[in-house]
Amino acid sequence: MPPSGMPSTSIVVISRHRPQALARCLTALAAQTHPDFEIVLVADPASAGIRPDLPLKRLAFDRANVSAARNEGLALAAGEVVLFIDDDALAAPGWAAALAAPLADPRVLAAAGFTRGPDGLRWQVRAERITRSGRTLPLNIAETTLLAPEKGNPVSTIGTNCGFRREALLAIGGFDPAFAYYLDESDVNLRMAARFPQGLTAVVPEAEVIHGAAPGAGRGEAGVPGDLTVIGRSAAIFAARHGGDAGWLRASQRRRLLRHMVAGRLDPFAIAPILATLERGLAEGRGLAPAPPLWSRSPPPPFRPMPRAAATGEPLFLGGWHWQAPALRAGAARAVAEGRPAALLLLTPSFLPHRLTLTDGGWWEQCGGLWGASQPGDSPVVFLGRNARILRERGNLPGRRR
């Protein structure tokens, strides 16, 4: 354990054919405040060399298998703790330190953060338990909490915002490549609970990421699925291995498709063919019963710490009307060039809902209507004046939320 009391930490990022999203993900990770961390990048050959200015451990890997890619990253990770994040996710300031800190307690084997959706503001996933059928049970958690499995149901750790004690993850064989996508981390949760029934998982609300909906295998723009074969296959294998029933997935995926249809993103006539791919995947997985994996890899290369960012003053916050954007963005760019974190709020005289992202320039930018919703639980109309609205949003921007 380093003098800071924080366990040394490896952050594993896997990416496949999404270089623009990956570049922004790495920008957010390079600004993390953890005192002792390295970044391991496992990406397709065209993306593995991205951001050559950053001292990353890099590996070219181009198979459409999330579990296999994560295992390659795990094999290179030399930290006591290994955190995982997707390439279309943005880690909020302080994410790595918040998520890794509970693992300084030797009883804690895993950690799960809170994840916001593509708009950067509303929740996508918070605290949940995972069942033997792959369904989730919500938990009401408001501060860091350590939880053991309950009735065989461990805390769920979503793959884009989770961490594990490296030695515990190796003890169960890492991720199982039988799960090319979907329920891959849930399988880890249940196998770890079986191996370490007294082991604790930390739920850490302060460890936030924004998870995008970048296109990928079987998924188009805005997260619209085109093929559910892999999901069905993984669900069937998961249920068979852990003694559950994957039948619930049919209704769940049908509701998902109907939501996309109602939103105008999916042709109604496409629903039946897509559901047919789910049935195909369920049938494929039903006949498979792979043995859980064993870990037999060489020790990792030496730890390669990221340089500590020099503190150059308080984070800069700028707020104003959207027609002031050029001047405000120039101010944010100057702050970033000086090494200062910067956040920008741009308002329009409208009811438009807000969105938050990390710009290519390296500052956080939130845009929306003066009277638009911006936080979970907001009504569609928020009656505030300009100055009151700027003050309210200032306290909710990344690095300032409580």
196 touches 167 (CB < 8 A): no
Strands 37-43 and 9-15 turn out to be parallel
Tokens, residue 384: 């505030």
pLDDT value for 401: 55
State the Cα–Cα distance between residues 31 and 25, nearest whole angstrom.
Answer: 10
Task: Give the CA distances from residue 12 to residues 6, 162, 230, 278, 325, in Å, rounded to whole numbers and listed in that order.
Answer: 18, 10, 23, 30, 35
Of residues 140, 160, 232, 152, the one with CA closest to residue 189: 152
Q: What is the DSSP string of 289-306?
A: -PPPP---PPPPPPP-PP
pLDDT value for 5: 80
State the Cα–Cα distance between residues 179 and 321, nearest whole angstrom.
Answer: 47
384 touches 364 (CB < 8 A): no
Give the tens place of pLDDT for each residue, 281-330: 999 998 887 888 999 999 999 999 998 765 556 789 999 999 999 999 99
Mean pLDDT by runs of 10 across the 402 residues of the chain is 79 96 95 95 97 96 95 98 97 96 97 95 95 95 96 94 97 96 95 96 97 67 84 95 93 94 92 95 88 93 86 80 96 92 95 95 95 93 93 81 50
Domains of the chain (ranges, CATH numbers): 9-214 (3.90.550.10), 215-288 (no CATH), 316-394 (no CATH)
Q: Which pairs from 322-331 meet CB under 8 Å and 24+ separation?
A: 322/346, 322/347, 322/348, 322/367, 329/361, 329/363, 329/365
Does this model's pTM top 0.85? yes
> 344: which strand partners?
318, 365
pLDDT value for 290: 85
361 CB neighbour count, 10 Å cutoff: 15
